[in-house]
Amino acid sequence: MKIKYILFLGMFFLASPIFAQRVVQAWAGGADQNAFSFGYTFQYVNSSYKILKKPDWRTPYYDQGTNRNVTDSLNSITSPGTAGFALGFLARYSITDNFEVRLTPTLVFADRTMSYQYRTQDLAPDKNQVVSTTQAEFPLELKLKSNRLGNFRAYVLGGVKYAYGIGNQSKTNEADLAPLERKLKNVPNFSSYVAGFGCDIYLEYFKLSPEIKLSNSFGSVLYPENHPYASPLEKLYLHTIVFSLIFE
């Protein structure tokens, strides 16, 4: 019995390194074997505003050009979430096996919506103002990873990003437009903080990382103007939820 027991232990310890190598083999093209690696990302984006209203936000809008109210008093201003998408590039640098820094420049195509509802429809109908945006974003993020378990590991991340507007400002001169025909605008450039979580899945030829991130702008993104849709607002903070698929 002792000989069988010794033989069993010997076979177990000889097999353990082989088994470990099979579990943590360098799949994903050895993406984690190098300090630097690159990839790309596809993102689903859902954007909405956190709204800060002026104390007199319900007051009907008075048009000085026609000397009359052009809207009734407001009942509500809301911002429903609006879908968009983004395409990006990943550059990653590993500081340790569990800690890395990454840059993911991204081109974002997303709309943002504001909904205005009035007490009556006698002067102006309820309005959905859509702010159509195209912007380049430059997130710089720190990623903290768990130890690898087979071909899987989880992570959390945080960082900041800078957004540069490309097509979010109206090209039309709105000075001559009627108040109800004017558009709500955002400032072209702003910064946000980012936090999220995800997991790395090691496939045979690449690493796939599903990820969810939240971001909120540091300051207001409202472009202040005097018309029925901007005047009731004190500040707008952009809130974004992003679901990403990262291929590395």
> What was the pLDDT predicted at 133?
87
Domain membership of residue 19 (yes or no) is no
Domain membership of residue 83 (yes or no) is yes
Q: Please give the model's pTM, rounded to 2 decimal places.
A: 0.83
**Amino acid (1-letter code) at residue 50:** K
> What was the pLDDT predicted at 34?
80
> What was the pLDDT predicted at 132?
87
**Amino acid (1-letter code) at residue 149:** L
37-55 per-position pLDDT tens digit = 899 999 999 999 999 999 9
Domain membership of residue 123 (yes or no) is yes
Domain membership of residue 20 (yes or no) is no
Q: Are 164 and 136 in contact (CB under 8 A)?
A: yes
Q: Report which of 246, 238, 189 is spatially closest to residue 214, judged by C-alpha positions.
A: 238
> What was the pLDDT predicted at 43?
97
Domain membership of residue 8 (yes or no) is no
Q: Are 13 and 75 in contact (CB under 8 A)?
A: no
**Could you give the count of Cα atoms lying within 13 Å of 244 in the half-sphere of its Cβ?**
28
Domain range enclosing 168 = 27-247
Task: Write the CATH number for 230.
Answer: 2.40.160.20
Domain membership of residue 18 (yes or no) is no
| Neighbouring-strand partners of residue 209 | 246
Distance CA 174, CA 181 (A): 8
Q: Count the neighbouring beta carbons within 10 Å of the beta carbon of residue 162.
A: 14
Sign of CA dihedral 133, 137, 143, 145: positive
Domain membership of residue 188 (yes or no) is yes
- Residue ranges for the chain with pLDDT beneath 70: 1-31, 167-173, 175
Give the 3-state secondary structure of residue 175.
helix
Domain membership of residue 100 (yes or no) is yes
What's the total number of domains in the chain? 1
